[in-house]
Structure 1
Amino acid sequence: MFRVRSDFHRTRLAIAALFCFLGFQYATWTSRLPALTSRLDLSAQELGLLLMACGVGAAASFPLVSALMRRLGSRRLAFVSALSLAVLLPALYLAPNYPVALVVICCDGVAAGGLNVAMNAQGSALEVRHGRTTMAQLHATFSAGSLAAALLASGASLFTTSLTAHFLAATAVLALLLGYSRPRLLTDEPATGERATDGPATDERASDERATGAPASGDEAPKRETERRRGPVLPSRATLWMGLAMVFGTVTEGAMNDWSALYMEDVVHASPQLVPMGIAVVSVMMVVARLVADGWRSRWGDARVVRYGSALAGTGLALALLTGGVLPTLVGFACVGLGVAAVTPCVYVAAAAQGPEALSLVAATGTTGLLAGPALIGFVAGATSLVWGMAVVAASALAVSLCATRVRWRTPETPETPETPEPPGTGPAQAAPAR
């Protein structure tokens, strides 16, 4: 028992290092956008296109990532993607001009898309293998990585204005994270002793293989090979509902990150000291909720956590918009952070159970939501007002709750119902399960 538990914690730390890696890498170069803008002499439009190139690369990586997941498995894809991101970071500050920087950022988006799929597949497989929830906490480490990158950027700016020194230090941190996680990740092939022909172990292995994108063994191998030759499989209806849930969830997250401060200033008329509290409340509540959400998932199941959480987010924000005032607005923002925190982790787990194609597609739709959400809110706000723009955010959160009713979610572990004991002498005695 001790061995299994320590294996779980050791692997969880390795996967958490990947989540931290992605958050750290992304926040490192975004935190130095002013310096990059000055060095490359970019206009506002050019900077916007640069940021869009990263998102477009991540969203367009779906076919490539799906194929690589089937060919390499999540463990090797994670290593290749993370290594590419570590190389692309210094390549960005070495870019001699704007066109080269655009290519580097687009490649960065593709590699980030690959790592996003691979690390979520690893997290889902860890839950399947050990029968424990942990995905929400893994997503919390992404935020921790972003925070660490921001602190490093702030510290580096105190000692030097050199972008080279900062990015080299950040690359060293990425190398340490990758070096730690690589040997401890879940393997893509089942162990020899686990290759049973029937029974529960077979079901667990099959589910684990779907989650990690690992090659199948035994009689399933020819079938998987035939599927590869036929090309990509069209997404199922369940996968499309997961994609919609992810889109609406990431629209809510992205819009709150980009528009909450402006709403506090222009609509609520908060003081300059309280304006940043909008995004602060959302971020803090999301991190705290993700640290404890795995306990909610184990107790109530992913379906209830997503449905009730997104309903809380949409209803709380809608009431805040109707009420007005600083305090009701902050309470409504807190409801959003608390309610949507577990949406993306749960959707990733559900998608991973459907296979690498579903996971890749859902990850791509998540990136699309993050890209389209802030722009959509800006369009609505420009045509009407920012209040109606934030009303779209509330509607998106409620839409997640509706989509969640059509998704096959992970269910919490429940004890088996004891069987009726057989009369004495008719068969082997059955011990009652422990309560």
Structure 2
Amino acid sequence: MSDLATSRGPVPLYFGMRGDRLAVSTLFLVNGFLVGSWAPKIPVLMARLGITESVMGLLILVFGLGSIAMMPVIGALTAKHGSAPLLKPATFALLPMLFLLTLAPELITTAVVIFVFGGLIGGMDVAMNTNAVAVEKRMKRAIMSSCHGFWSLGALLGAALGGVLLGSVGEFAHGLIITALATAAAVLALPLLAQDQPTPEAKAATPLKFPRSPLPYLVGVMALFSMIPEGAILDWSALFLQQKHGASIELAALGFAAFSATMAIMRFAGDAIRQRLGAVLTLRICGGFALTGMMIAASAPVPELTILGFAIAGIGISNMVPIAFSAAGNLPGIPSGIGLSIVTVMGYSGILIAPSAIGFIAEHTGFSPVLMGTAALILVTLALSRLARYANFSAE
């Protein structure tokens, strides 16, 4: 850690947790909370603006494009200046965006706000993951999976609370309350962040360009082929259950619910598992669960077995992406911010862009072959699993 200008004094504990770990975990929670709060707002926004599903689909794409556009920018800046100096302005810029979306009067303004909202969500994501890598290095133990678990928990809380608030107090009050809660958590967390600013010598030696090494791109492929199945389940599991099995809306919703539940639980357990088994073996075991679950879901004769398949897939997919992100932040000769920006852009395109292609293909082939195809992608991640060794703290 000689290239970082950091304090070497004792790290204070809060609620039995290191302050730097608590801070970055809280920011993951806040980021997920704001994304989860955005989801139930979509039908309200559609009704207020009087727009169709196809127009809303374009706005959701604008959100994704904003994220993908900002990720490499923030990644380059974190490589040059450290994640902590970027996290503070990015977080404070993000906090009012949901409320500003509430105030947007017409479609063009809404699209601009959504693009910025998505960009700040994505930029903050890269900086958070970079900071989590810094904390992992200091603790010499895995924390990335639990950080992503806090994101999942935040998304769940945001969606649940958002639905209640929108139904009881309306869109304006929902925006105010969500913004106030997220701001309070961020204000408490930001002063405790791990300071990972590079020394002047390291900053001067850090080129802001894409690396020639194939390593970050190969790890990006690992992340991409882990997240395409996640995106497929997120966007299409309910429709698959309805079309193939004639499931009711309530039963169809259980597909993604079962997947989300097992994924959140295993993310909180994932750090201890990776610490014990090593990143490579953990990734291979997770890949086996993910592949098995997707194949069961795609070929099951009854909806209950399909839901079980999605739950098994959640067990596997849960820790594949956190391991890829930890590896990206520890690649030899590549600054954490640069490696993470490449891997996050490639990985998140599996959720933000790939589902639209999945829907187009499924319209012509049905969802069962598409789900089997996404399961086959996991074989590529397994073939590259040796790269997960960079997520081990003994790797050089």
The question of a shared fold, defined as TM-score above 0.5 by the shorter chain, is answered with yes
One-letter amino acid matched to 1:357: I
Q: Which residue of 2 aligns with 1:422?
A: none
> Is 1:185 matched up with 2:193?
yes
1:23-422 equivalent positions in 2, closer than 5 A: 23-161=32-170, 163-188=171-196, 214-216=197-199, 220-221=201-202, 224-228=203-207, 231-354=208-331, 355=335, 356-411=337-392
Measured after TM superposition, the shift of residue 329 of structure 1 is 1.8
Contact 1:321–1:387 (CA<8 Å) still a contact in 2?
A: yes
Measured after TM superposition, the shift of residue 365 of structure 1 is 1.2
Contact 1:243–1:365 (CA<8 Å) still a contact in 2?
A: yes
* Structure-2 separation of matches of 1:406 and 1:74: 24
Contact 1:235–1:357 (CA<8 Å) still a contact in 2?
A: no
One-letter amino acid matched to 1:181: A
Q: How large is the RMSD of aligned CA atoms in angstroms?
A: 2.1
Change (3 A) 1:268 1:403: farther
Per-residue CA deviation, residues 217-255 of structure 1 (Å, 9 max, x unaligned), is 5xx43xx41544xx4133521111111011111111111
Radius of gyration: which is bigger? 1
One-letter amino acid matched to 2:120: A
Measured after TM superposition, the shift of residue 368 of structure 1 is 1.0
Contact 1:377–1:392 (CA<8 Å) still a contact in 2?
A: no
Measured after TM superposition, the shift of residue 143 of structure 1 is 1.3
Per-residue CA deviation, residues 174-223 of structure 1 (Å, 9 max, x unaligned), is 111110111101012xxxxxxxxxxxxxxxxxxxxxxxxx3235xx43xx
Q: Which residue of 2 aligns with 1:431?
A: none
Q: Which residue of 2 aligns with 1:430?
A: none
Measured after TM superposition, the shift of residue 33 of structure 1 is 0.9
Measured after TM superposition, the shift of residue 136 of structure 1 is 0.8
Change (3 A) 1:406 1:298: closer
* Structure-1 separation of matches of 2:316 and 2:113: 35
Overall identity of the aligned pairs, in %: 31
In the superposition, the TM-score normalised over structure 2's length comes to 0.90
Measured after TM superposition, the shift of residue 410 of structure 1 is 2.3
* Structure-1 separation of matches of 2:145 and 2:131: 13
Consecutive unaligned residues of structure 2, counting only runs of 5 or more, are 1-9
One-letter amino acid matched to 1:6: L
Contact 1:307–1:405 (CA<8 Å) still a contact in 2?
A: no
Per-residue CA deviation, residues 131-156 of structure 1 (Å, 9 max, x unaligned), is 12211111111111112212322321
* Structure-1 separation of matches of 2:140 and 2:205: 31
* Structure-2 separation of matches of 1:216 and 1:402: 37
Measured after TM superposition, the shift of residue 323 of structure 1 is 4.3
* Structure-2 separation of matches of 1:395 and 1:346: 20
In the superposition, the TM-score normalised over structure 1's length comes to 0.82
Contact 1:289–1:341 (CA<8 Å) still a contact in 2?
A: yes
Measured after TM superposition, the shift of residue 406 of structure 1 is 4.0
* Structure-2 separation of matches of 1:23 and 1:264: 26
One-letter amino acid matched to 1:216: T
Say which SS state the counterpart of residue 65 (structure 1) adopts. helix
* Structure-2 separation of matches of 1:160 and 1:319: 42
Change (3 A) 1:40 1:323: closer
One-letter amino acid matched to 2:195: T
Q: Please, which of 17, 20, 40 is the counterpart of residue 11 of structure 1? A: 20
Contact 2:224–2:350 (CA<8 Å) still a contact in 1?
A: yes
Question: Where does structure 1 differ by over 6 angstroms across 4 or more consecutive aligned residues?
Answer: none
Say which SS state the counterpart of residue 316 (structure 1) adopts. helix
Change (3 A) 1:38 1:69: same
Consecutive unaligned residues of structure 1, counting only runs of 5 or more, are 189-213, 415-435
How many residues get paired?
380
Change (3 A) 1:42 1:122: same
One-letter amino acid matched to 1:90: F
* Structure-2 separation of matches of 1:158 and 1:376: 33
* Structure-1 separation of matches of 2:12 and 2:273: 20
Contact 1:241–1:407 (CA<8 Å) still a contact in 2?
A: no
* Structure-2 separation of matches of 1:259 and 1:272: 13
Say which SS state the counterpart of residue 60 (structure 1) adopts. helix
Contact 2:238–2:255 (CA<8 Å) still a contact in 1?
A: yes
Contact 2:327–2:387 (CA<8 Å) still a contact in 1?
A: no
One-letter amino acid matched to 1:250: M
Structure 1 stretch 382-391 or stretch 70-79: which is displaced more?
Answer: 70-79
Measured after TM superposition, the shift of residue 71 of structure 1 is 3.8
Measured after TM superposition, the shift of residue 272 of structure 1 is 4.6
